[in-house]
Amino acid sequence: MSQTAPREEDNIVRDFLSIADLLEETQLARIYTHIYCEDEATVGELIDALEISQGTAYTYVNQLVDAGVLTSTSDTQPQRYTAIDIELTLTADNKREYTISPALVAAVARRATNETIDSYIDRRGIHGLATALTHTLAREQGETTHRLVAEDLDMSPLEAEVILQALRPIVHEHFALEDSGASLADVVDAENLDE
């Protein structure tokens, strides 16, 4: 089960730097996300599940332990690891807040296998992905539409819907929600009616 890390003022910079590594390195994000979602895992289980080499797995697990985002849950071999729950909110330009959470790390982890997310990060950066993730959660809660998201993010409604759909499974994995979002087919049909 995931644990919540203590947030002492002296640890804020260290926490931020640790989390920054997760957002920059897709393999680190994949390992963290797998352990977070499974509650705990051994290095051997990571090797099998993520199809990574033994050396890479041990290197990255040790890096994540040193960073303070993974912790060992056993003293016996093979060691089991659990993920520390991350939640860090940053404010940019005194107007936009970005929340770095396990859901955002999971979105970064999908960069290697999801072309939409990969392209979106290339164009808009991690902060743009964080904003899109926040909008996806709001949309899935029925608080916004793809058109309002498009307006806020300065993009076409179709482009907004594509990223919302790519992030939708992540939102449903990390938040307790009922299925309420539109499908991409619904949006394309609506776009065709507007023409």
178 pLDDT band, cuts 50/70/90, is low
State the Cα–Cα distance between residues 187 and 195, nearest whole angstrom: 13
Q: What is the per-residue pLDDT for 11?
A: 60
* Residues 1-33 pLDDT 10s: 445 544 455 566 666 666 788 899 999 999 999
Q: What is the per-residue pLDDT for 74?
A: 84
Q: Which CATH architecture has domain 3-85?
A: Orthogonal Bundle (1.10)
Residue 131 belongs to what H/E stretch?
Answer: helix 115-140
Q: How far is CA 39 from CA 75, 93, 99, 114, 139, in A?
A: 17, 36, 22, 24, 27
Evaluated on CA atoms 141, 143, 147, 151, the torsion sign reads negative
State the Cα–Cα distance between residues 153 and 158, nearest whole angstrom: 12
Q: What is the per-residue pLDDT for 75?
A: 84
Q: SS3 breakdown of the chain: % helix, strand, coil, rounded to 5?
A: 65, 10, 25
Angle between helices 115-140 and 157-174 (to 10 degrees): 70
* Residues 22-65 pLDDT 10s: 899 999 999 999 999 999 999 999 999 999 999 999 999 999 99
Residue 182 burial (10 A CB sphere; 0-12, 13-18, 19+): middle
Per-domain residue ranges for the chain? Answer: 3-85, 96-189
State the Cα–Cα distance between residues 26 and 16, nearest whole angstrom: 17
Q: What is the per-residue pLDDT for 97?
A: 76
* Residues 127-159 pLDDT 10s: 899 999 999 999 999 999 999 999 999 999 999
User: In this structure, are residues 70 and 130 in contact, taking their beta carbons and an 8 Å threshold?
Assistant: no
